[in-house]
Amino acid sequence: MSIGAMIGDILRSLFKKPATQRYPYERYPTPDRLRGKLFYDPTKCTGCQLCIKDCPSDAIELIVLDKVNKRFVMRYNIDRCTYCAQCVQNCRFDCLSMSNEQYEMAALQRQPFEVFYGRDEDVQFLLERATREDPEAQPCQPPA
């Protein structure tokens, strides 16, 4: 490319609208079906564990506190999740869903990637039990 053509390109580019988005200051609306962070509704869960068996990345675990009274807490390891939605599709009780708004999960530490879902009292019970068993343990993250 000649110098003249190059200067022409530069001058044209100076007055053209940028082709790129000024992320994170600007964001396009996300599609409704975007698969972001997984959410769990414990009120409908039967504890069948089908979602756990189907997860190809071992990203979810169901902690059974009391099966008779359906007290379950789901541990979700976001950093292992591939957002495949296999668990969502296979839950017959509609307990799982994926957010199309929460998809920016980058963090400098691993800890925010471990999330516990369940009824507030059950998550609290689990966190207290974990602290009693290992007082040095880092506090777990309640669901965002």
- Rounded Cα–Cα distance for residues 3 and 20 (Å): 26
Based on the shown chain and the rule CB under 6 A, indicate whether residue 96 belongs to the binding site for ligand SF4.
yes
What residues have CB less than 8 Å from 51, skipping those under 6 apart?
60, 62, 87, 90, 91, 95, 96
Based on the shown chain and the rule CB under 6 A, indicate whether residue 87 belongs to the binding site for ligand SF4.
yes
Based on the shown chain and the rule CB under 6 A, indicate whether residue 91 belongs to the binding site for ligand SF4.
yes
DSSP-assigned letters across all residues of 92-103: TT--EEE-SS--
* 38 class by beta-carbon count within 10 Å (0-12 exposed, 13-18 middle, 19+ buried): buried
Over the window 1 to 20, marking each residue x when it contacts ligand SF4 by CB under 6 A and - when it does not, the resulting string is --------------------
- Rounded Cα–Cα distance for residues 13 and 40 (Å): 48
The distance of closest approach from Cβ of residue 56 to ligand SF4 in the complex, given in angstroms and rounded to an integer, is 6
* Contact residue for ligand SF4 among 39, 73, 95, 117 (CB under 6 A): 95
The distance of closest approach from Cβ of residue 108 to ligand SF4 in the complex, given in angstroms and rounded to an integer, is 22
Q: Which of residues 21-80 bind ligand SF4 (CB under 6 A)?
A: 38, 45-51, 54-55, 57, 59-60, 62
Residues of this chain that interact with ligand SF4 (CB under 6 A) are: 38, 45-51, 54-55, 57, 59-60, 62, 81-87, 91, 93, 95-96
